[in-house]
Structure 1
C-alpha cells in the first residue's frame, strides 16, 4: 500500500472518529452527561471523552464500525490497558475526581443504527 493511500485512509478514519465522538457527546448530553474533556492523551492511547453526571466521572471509549457488534469487539485487552494508563494520568492531574464514582463506558456507533451506550464496559483496574 502506498504512503499516500495510507495517509488518505488515516485522515478519513480520523475524521470519522471525530465525527463519531461528537455524535457520542450529543447522545450522552441528552442523557444528562456533560463533557469535561475531549481526547485526553495522545500518541500511544487516549481517552476519547471524559464526561460527568451527578457524582460520576465517566471515561468513554467511542467506537464506530460497520456493525455495533464489530464496534464492541474493538475494545481489546490491549486497548483497555492503554485507556487505564491514560485514566491514571488524568486522575493524577485531577485528584478531586478520586472522590467521585469512576467508571469506563463505551458508545458504539454503526450506520443506520441508534448509538449504543454501554456503562461499565470493563472494570477499571487503577
Structure 2
C-alpha cells in the first residue's frame, strides 16, 4: 500500500472508531440512536440520535488534540451537513414538531469525549 493510501485507511479507521466512542458516550447520556452515517444531498451526518422530543444531528470529529477537533467544523462542512439534515427530515415526516439541533462530539486520545450541544446552527429553511 502506498503512503497516501495507508494514511487514508488510517484516517478512515480512526473516524469509525471515533464514531463508536461518540455513540457509546451519547448512549450513556440517555440518547437513543436513530441512524449512523446518513448520506444525502452531498453531505453526511455521522450520527442521528434522539432524547425526549429532541433530535440531534451529530458531527463527530477525531483529532490528536482536542483544540484541533474544536476547529475542524468548517463553514463548508456546516452547509453540507445542513443539506443532509434537510434531506433526512424530508424523508422522516414523523420528526416534524420536534426540536432539531446540530451537535458535535469531539474525540481525542486520552481524553473523555466532549459533547457540544447546538455546536452550530442548522440551515434548514
Report the TM-score when normalising by structure 2: 0.94
Aligned to 1:95: 93
> For residues 44 and 17 of structure 2, what CA distance do their matches in structure 1 show?
16
Aligned to 1:66: 64
What is the DSSP-based 3-state SS (H/G/I as helix, E as strand, rest coil) of the residue aligned with 2:25?
helix
Consecutive unaligned residues in structure 2, runs of 5 or more? none
Consecutive unaligned residues in structure 1, runs of 5 or more? none
Deviation of 1:42 after TM superposition, in Å, equals: 6.0
Matches within 5 A, 1:13-24: 13-24=11-22
Structure 1's consecutive aligned runs of 4 or more residues displaced over 3 angstroms after TM superposition are none
> For residues 6 and 43 of structure 1, what CA distance do their matches in structure 2 show?
28
Deviation of 1:98 after TM superposition, in Å, equals: 2.0
Which string of whole-angstrom CA distances, capped at 9 and with x for unpartnered residues, describes residues 33-87 of structure 1?
A: 0110000006943100000101000000000101111001000101000100100
Check the 8 A contact 2:40/2:84 in 1, yes or no.
Answer: no
> For residues 42 and 16 of structure 1, what CA distance do their matches in structure 2 show?
22
Aligned to 1:10: 8
Matched residues, number: 124
Check the 8 A contact 2:54/2:100 in 1, yes or no.
Answer: yes
Check the 8 A contact 2:49/2:58 in 1, yes or no.
Answer: yes
Superposition CA RMSD, Å: 1.5
